[in-house]
Structure 1
């Protein structure tokens, strides 16, 4: 029931040693290694608010070539940081057998606005406050996917990148990559869109609202006005538990846990002290209640998440997801997709319940130079992290074929 002392993993390379969280033991704040920070004087969001002294945390791999046109932008997922090798290491290395070839590519991954891993967010000090206080609930909202792309373009200009060979990302990163193609169509050569969508569907918006409401209903939320060094944890843990189920699929969960009881505690705990949650006051009320292994797993994941994430940041980032609509302000949705002439690879997962397969089929149907790679997996949305070897081979092959086609045309 445990892997390296942790409750049962749902399987796969990305989580075989950490119980299902691809971020392992990251903590809130700037990652200890592999991250740089640049500060821009100001940045105006689509909502009209202007951020001052904007911190942008980013990681780079490889080297910028003399012509400065070998850039590759990697978009991370909702709760990841910019350190790509921590969560996509199998996809990146020297040589064209890797989807991201650090011998040929200058790779840049930028932490999102609102994230607790170094870029300006609710846990960063607000320069407008004379007392040096944090942004907290005063953080401007929403920061859109498009805002993030425009801010990242500022960074790439600062780094001297003249052109992107590819924008690639999974889940939220897919949305970022697609927006790169729409916002700067002449700047980007190709798009690799993994397990995402062209606009955030109502299904996913609804899931995000359930998760936000769990955070907001938690004890100590206080409208988001809390001490970030001692944040409320119960609501955030509940949100993460919900999210973990949407990242998988019913069959995968059923087959993995098989209604087994938790081996380390066959009776339901009356409290989760780490997150200050008392589930049952009366011991007699839980004396005969079983404690299933899947419940134990989800509680573990919820508690672990609170050690590395902030409630306000989680709310802000889920709102960022909801802003995603590549056609916003540009015309009819299908017309905007049809205008994207980039060489495009779309990756869909047959069992994905968060961003179902028909959303990727929609992209392939309307983006003129798109092809589909299907991950036929029972593991749901996170299959793009779990089935990573096959995904790496497919993307690397697609990039090699595109390079051959380009050289023939030249």
Structure 2
């Protein structure tokens, strides 16, 4: 494939009204997206669709001035090479980065949706993204890839639209969340709901439940990383030297978690956080489907799991792989070990990156199981 001038574009696409899985209709739905790399081929052979995680957005690739959240994986001469491929990332409906969500203006009232914003499922997200790509004239893709919530979407892409993508890469994900993961999510949810600033979801234009959202993020960070990483990075070190028995003393790990909580508050909306959590909690690939959903998948699949993942345990990716192989699907499993735990799919590309590159470009290797 010849290398030509790369493109980089951020824009918002109107996809009209959408009837959601629950029966409600969202009018005038907008989708914020970022595209980077080469112009898309008419047959989609150079198109890669990226699905983001819970607090992600469309800014996966970025540019030199503003690198995206998957900058280490995607870019010029990287594992997903924008000198060769057209990479497109769409912000999900229900989010807060330009796509229609709770903070968007309801055209019927002229005010933000707030508490009136309807439930949006993982399947709704995929359906909206399919409509967006159709508006852009993209009918097929070489690969759909994503981790965590994005991985749930990748699997739904394969089930709902089997002919769309030739390859699927679901990372650190599963058919559905474990009860433990749902429990963690509900603790974060209750932190937001109990914050007086939440105001039943109708807090715009105010700051909203700042403390509640920060606490929810702090809890989530504990599930995203590993005890081994916390011990290595912080141990029992103090942020400010002094008497550890004093109430105002601060451990380094406490300072880190508070910093992460404050960072999220500055860029994310609490209502969106709640809606996307609920979408993950309620998602089940088999729900309301008579046939085994994986039987509909026709694409090649590379399942990637992280052995230290506390949120999506490695057994879930092994089960996904086992069922795909049992259906005689073209499927591989890559297990990686990383002290970053669940977050490894965002930061640790030593094993994952080369395997994704080989899978995308057609270089196959045997399954790598830990």
Tell me the TM-score normalised to structure 2 length: 0.88
Partner of 1:103 in structure 2? 83
Shift of 1:193: 0.9
How far apart in 1 are the matches of 2:255 and 2:158? 42
Q: For structure 1, which runs of at least 5 residues remain unmatched after alignment?
A: 1-32, 269-285, 405-410
Segment of structure 1 superposing worse, 346-355 or 195-204:
195-204
How far apart in 1 are the matches of 2:168 and 2:129? 16
> What does 1:204-215 correspond to in 2, within 5 Å?
204-215=181-192
How far apart in 1 are the matches of 2:98 and 2:348? 29
How far apart in 1 are the matches of 2:12 and 2:138? 17
Shift of 1:101: 3.0
Partner of 2:35 in structure 1? 60
- 2:168 aligned with 1:191: yes
Shift of 1:351: 0.5
How far apart in 1 are the matches of 2:82 and 2:246? 56
1:343-377 per-residue CA deviation (whole Å, 9 max, x = no partner) reads 11011111000101001101110113221111111
Partner of 1:357 in structure 2? 314
> What does 1:236-251 correspond to in 2, within 5 Å?
236-251=213-228
Partner of 2:251 in structure 1? 292
Match of 1:38 among 2, 13, 20: 13
Shift of 1:289: 5.5
How far apart in 1 are the matches of 2:157 and 2:88? 13
Shift of 1:100: 2.1
Shift of 1:112: 0.7
Match of 2:49 among 73, 93, 112: 73
Q: Is the 8 A contact 1:228 1:310 kept in 2?
A: no
SS at match of 1:254: helix
Match of 1:134 among 93, 97, 112: 112
Q: Is the 8 A contact 1:68 1:160 kept in 2?
A: no
Partner of 2:73 in structure 1? 91
SS at match of 1:205: helix
Q: For structure 2, which runs of at least 5 residues remain unmatched after alignment?
A: 1-7, 62-67, 366-370
How far apart in 1 are the matches of 2:289 and 2:48? 25
How far apart in 1 are the matches of 2:211 and 2:264? 11
- 2:362 aligned with 1:401: yes
The CA RMSD measured in Å over matched residues stands at: 2.2
Segment of structure 1 superposing worse, 148-157 or 200-209:
200-209
SS at match of 1:53: coil
Question: When the two structures are aligned, how many residues end up with a matched partner?
Answer: 348
The 4+ residue runs of structure 1 with deviation greater than 4 A are 265-268, 286-289
1:185-243 per-residue CA deviation (whole Å, 9 max, x = no partner) reads 01221101111112222222221111111100112212112123422201011100001
Name the CA shift for 1:230/1:93 in 2 (closer, same or farther; >3 Å).
Answer: closer
Q: Is the 8 A contact 2:226 2:340 kept in 1?
A: yes
- 2:343 aligned with 1:343: no
Shift of 1:287: 4.2
Tell me the TM-score normalised to structure 1 length: 0.80
Partner of 2:4 in structure 1? none
> What does 1:210-249 correspond to in 2, within 5 Å?
210-249=187-226
Match of 2:144 among 164, 167, 182: 167
How far apart in 2 are the matches of 1:74 and 1:373? 19
1:20-76 per-residue CA deviation (whole Å, 9 max, x = no partner) reads xxxxxxxxxxxxx94210123211100111011111101112211144453221001
How far apart in 2 are the matches of 1:266 and 1:108? 50
Q: Is the 8 A contact 2:103 2:204 kept in 1?
A: no
SS at match of 2:130: helix
Partner of 1:124 in structure 2? 104
Q: Is the 8 A contact 1:195 1:349 kept in 2?
A: yes
SS at match of 1:372: strand
How far apart in 1 are the matches of 2:338 and 2:194? 35
SS at match of 2:273: helix
